[in-house]
Amino acid sequence: MTPIFKLQSVTVQFGRLQALSACTFQVGAGERLALVGANGSGKSTLLRTLQGFVQPVAGHIQRDASARTAMLFQRPYLLRASVQNNVALGLWLNGTPWQPAKAQALQALERVGLADLAGRNARALSGGQQQRVALARAWALKPQVLLLDEPTSSLDPTAKREVERLMAEFSEAGMTLIFSSHNLGQVKRLASRVMYLEHGHLLADLPTDAFFNGPLPLAAETFLKGELA
């Protein structure tokens, strides 16, 4: 089966800072890949590179052209408009006429349990509700791959659980998830595979069980102990 992403020695540089160093891996359809590592380890850069926002200075990325990707950010930005219009915008930008886009947006909002807030000003929602609107906006585009950059890091436990539940449901429906997280509990619950990054280097790439139970490179082991302490 063709991998969705195949990276070969991908290096990303911002000025003199090497944000990713010769990363090589591939991601298959339906995987739930978690990226872990300290701040500045390159998790967000890797996600932005996969989305195409950042171009590598060396190496090669092969993408499955048929796989549509969508990205979710730590702090979603919603327009000063109704919740429904915020979701409809993504569809409209992808070629759906405005009225059908609004109807589909409502369906997407039902999917994340926010249909009753469709007419509300999106900026007046809580952080958790805004993240669910962003999930609906991404889900409405019917992506095969969802990239999530610390999607729950600024949310309270209830909102966190709600977003995790939606991520799990999307995954069960066949969507490939690639997400970064500092929450190892969340990684255990959601991921099928974990990558550990440090200073832009990919130091571990293991199935979730092996990552939490098996031997790890010293740096990853130290990180894990620190996070679980």
Q: Which residues contact 188 (CB under 8 A, 6 or more apart)?
A: 208, 212
Amino acid at 103: A
Give the x-and-dash track for 178-207 against other proteins (CB under 8 A).
------------------------------
CA distances from 3 to 44, 50, 51 (A): 21, 13, 15
From 3, 13, 63, 73, residue interacting with other proteins (rule: CB under 8 A): 73
CB of 63 vs other proteins, minimal distance in Å: 15
Asked whether position 173 contacts other proteins by CB under 8 A, the answer is: no
CB of 38 vs other proteins, minimal distance in Å: 22
3-state secondary structure 89-152: HHHHHCCCCHHHHHHHHHHHHHHCCCHHHCCCEHHHCCHHHHHHHHHHHHHHCCCCEEEEECCC
CB of 70 vs other proteins, minimal distance in Å: 6
Asked whether position 71 contacts other proteins by CB under 8 A, the answer is: yes
Q: Which long-range contacts (CB under 8 A, 24 or more apart) does 158-167 make?
A: 158/128, 159/126, 159/127, 159/128, 159/129, 159/131, 159/132, 160/128, 160/186, 162/113, 162/128, 162/132, 163/128, 163/131, 163/132, 163/135, 164/189, 164/190, 166/112, 166/132, 166/135, 167/135
Stretch 25-64 residues interacting with other proteins (CB under 8 A): 48, 51, 53
Residue 163, both tokens: 């977003």
From 110, 116, 169, 221, residue interacting with other proteins (rule: CB under 8 A): 116
Asked whether position 76 contacts other proteins by CB under 8 A, the answer is: yes
From 89, 195, 197, 216, residue interacting with other proteins (rule: CB under 8 A): 89
Residue 86, both tokens: 């915020």
Residue 137 vs 193, nearer CB to other proteins: 137
Residue 137 vs 194, nearer CB to other proteins: 137
Q: Which strand (E) or helix (H) includes residue 42?
A: none
Residue 27 vs 138, nearer CB to other proteins: 138
Asked whether position 153 contacts other proteins by CB under 8 A, the answer is: no
From 45, 49, 129, 171, residue interacting with other proteins (rule: CB under 8 A): 129
Q: Which positions touch other proteins (CB under 8 A)?
A: 48, 51, 53, 70-71, 73, 76-77, 79-81, 89-90, 93-94, 114, 116-117, 119-121, 123-126, 128-129, 137, 141, 156, 158-159
